[in-house]
Amino acid sequence: MSRNLCRTDCAICTGPVRVVSAAPMRVSSGAPPITGKDAQCAACGTKYFAWFGTHHPGASTEGVMTAASDFFDLSYRSTMNDEPGPDDLPAGNVEALLVVEIDGREVYRNAIRR
């Protein structure tokens, strides 16, 4: 069963994900149709497919949008699910990972790559 990531931030570094393609691609011909666009993490470069529209019954997310996005969920771009393909992951090795927590809650994460 194909699953999405159930998030709108980067699954690798929690950085912001931005849409990088202008034209939407129709993924479902149901009513209402589900469309998506190519997206990419602005911090680490991980490649995603951003889902727009109304999520379908049985979807792995409740369709939560954030103020920073107008899409409700992400999949890795090449696999269209929650498991990345080799081309989806950023190039390079992680040299350091900065994680900031406030009162035990993670508020920021950034991967430093070489």
Higher pLDDT, 56 or 40: 40
Query: Does 32 sit behind a cis peptide bond, omega within 30 degrees of 0 on the bond before it?
Result: yes
Q: What is the pTM of this model?
A: 0.67
Mean pLDDT across the stretch 7-17? 89
pLDDT at 41: 92
**Average confidence score pLDDT of the chain:** 77
Mean pLDDT across the stretch 73-83? 90
pLDDT at 62: 44
Distance in angstroms (rounded) separating the CA atoms of residues 19 and 62: 20
Kindly tell me if the per-residue pLDDT of 3 is higher than 60: yes
Q: Is the dihedral of CA 61, 67, 69, 71 positive or negative?
A: positive
Cβ within 8 Å of residue 74, ≥6 positions away: 4, 5, 7, 8, 11, 17, 39, 48, 49, 50, 51
Higher pLDDT, 90 or 59: 90
